Structure 1
Amino acid sequence: MRASYAFADAWHLDAAPEAVRDVLVDLERYPEWWPQVRAVASLGPDEAWVVCRSTLPYTLDLVLRAVSRELPVLEVAVAGDLRGTVRFRLARRTSGRCCVSSRRSACPGCSGPGPRWSVRC
């Protein structure tokens, strides 16, 4: 049986949901604001190869594919060293701030479809 992981976060940002969505769907600019994202290469209008490295000594090769880019829910399918989904729910608060709820579920996986060069087992 494979291990699986689920994570949930929430952020409150001084920005409109539309502006937050524009940043979240622009994968090629992730390294500018997300330090763990080391490299991004576009594979098409809705797909990108992403290299991540955190404080753990692991580098993850991932292929992200946009499933939904429409507010209020953004969804991405993840393949490569991890397989799963990421969902962002964006809500406008009465204060004008944006609340971003994030849910990520993944399992380690090198099986299934995906570019062979994006997977290191």
Structure 2
Amino acid sequence: MDWTHYRFRSLWPLPAPPAAVYAVLERTEEYPRWWRQVREVERRDDATGVIRVRSLLPYDLTFTAREVRRDPGAGVLQVAMYGDIEGWAGWTVTPTGSGCLARYDQVVDVRKPLLRRLAVPGRPVFRANHWLMMRAGRRGLLAYLGRPSEAV
């Protein structure tokens, strides 16, 4: 097993129209406005940006994200990532009932040297850190969409 390889999936049921959620998710440069763990997004061009994230643990991850798929009709956004983490991540937004489901998938290898050295003992903590970041992201998105009472 490669202890520096991670596969994540987060499901965000949201009481908002899929198009509204997709419109927010496709504007990555605005993520820091509603997702406090996304500390900085610096656009390089129409399809590329440098992103810095930090969750509960005292380290930043910085990576370049390059758009590889943007399909509003299918509700799909996907990026390739390289830097402290390398791989891909993507959102798929689908209608459900009176709202939508935003599914986040990420498959990455950690390249940051400190995290590679701590790969075996730190793995459960790194996974928990990611879970906390995603939970906070959902809450932030709900509040940004004007649904703060549902952010719990």
Q: Report how many residues are paired.
A: 109
SS of the residue corresponding to residue 44 of structure 1 reads: coil
Give the TM-score, by structure 1 length: 0.83
Deviations 1:27-67 (A, max 9, x none): 11010111111111110001111111111111111111111
| Residue identity matched to 2:92 | R
Identity of aligned residues (%): 33
What value does the CA root-mean-square deviation take over the aligned residues? Answer: 1.5
Where in structure 2 are the equivalents of 1:14-25 lying within 5 Å?
14-25=15-26
Larger % of helix: which?
A: 2
| Deviation readout 1:63-116 (Å, 9 max, x if unpaired) | 1111111133211111110001112111111x2201111111111127xxxxxx
Q: How is 1:33-112 mapped onto 2 (pairs within 5 angstroms)?
A: 33-70=34-71, 71-93=74-96, 95-109=97-111
**Aligned residues of 1:2 and 1:108 also touching (Cα < 8 A):** no
In the aligned structure 1, how far is the partner of 2:83 from the partner of 2:76? Answer: 23
Structure having the higher strand fraction is 1
Stretches of structure 1 that go unaligned for 5 or more consecutive residues are: 111-121
Cα contact 1:82–1:107 (8 A) shared by 2 = yes
Q: Which amino acid aligns with 2:6?
A: Y
Deviates more, 1:13-22 or 1:38-47: 13-22
The TM-score normalised by the length of structure 2 is: 0.67
